[in-house]
Amino acid sequence: MGRVSVTVVDHPLAATMVRSLRDHRTPPALFRVVAKRLSLVLALEATRSLPTRPLGVETPLAEADGRALDVALVAVPILRAGLGMLEAVTELLPELAVGYIGLERDEATFEPSAYYTKLPDMAGAWVLLLDPMLATGGSAAAAASALAREHPAHITLLSVVAAPEGIERLSRQHPEVDIVTAAVDKGLNDRAYIVPGLGDFGDRLFGT
User: Is 203 a known active-site residue?
Assistant: yes
User: Does residue 1 belong to any structural domain of this protein?
Assistant: no
What's the pLDDT score for residue 170? 94
Side chain identity at residue 93, one-letter code = L
Q: Which domain holds residue 100?
A: 6-49+70-206
Report how many domains make up the chain: 1
Q: Is residue 2 very low, low, confident or very high in pLDDT (cuts 50, 70, 90)?
A: low
Whether the pTM exceeds 0.75: the reply is: yes
Q: What digits encode the pLDDT tens for the residues 116-158?
A: 899 999 999 999 999 999 999 999 999 999 999 999 999 999 9
Q: Which helix (H) or strand (E) holds 45?
A: helix 28-46
CATH number at residue 116: 3.40.50.2020
Q: Write the CA distances from 9 to 6, 58, 111, 176, 181, integer angstroms.
A: 10, 35, 28, 19, 6
Q: Is residue 202 very low, low, confident or very high in pLDDT (cuts 50, 70, 90)?
A: confident
Catalytic pick among 23, 70, 106, 203: 203
Catalytic pick among 67, 109, 121, 149: 109
Q: Is residue 74 very low, low, confident or very high in pLDDT (cuts 50, 70, 90)?
A: very high
User: Does residue 26 belong to any structural domain of this protein?
Assistant: yes
User: Does residue 151 belong to any structural domain of this protein?
Assistant: yes
What's the pLDDT score for residue 83? 92
User: Does residue 59 belong to any structural domain of this protein?
Assistant: no
Q: In this predicted model, which residue has the larger pLDDT, 116 or 159?
A: 159
Overall average pLDDT of the 190-205 stretch: 92
User: Does residue 171 belong to any structural domain of this protein?
Assistant: yes
User: Is 200 a known active-site residue?
Assistant: yes
User: Does residue 198 belong to any structural domain of this protein?
Assistant: yes
User: Is 121 a known active-site residue?
Assistant: no
User: Is 65 a known active-site residue?
Assistant: no
Rounded to whole angstroms, the Cα distance separating 31 from 12 reads 18
User: Does residue 60 belong to any structural domain of this protein?
Assistant: no
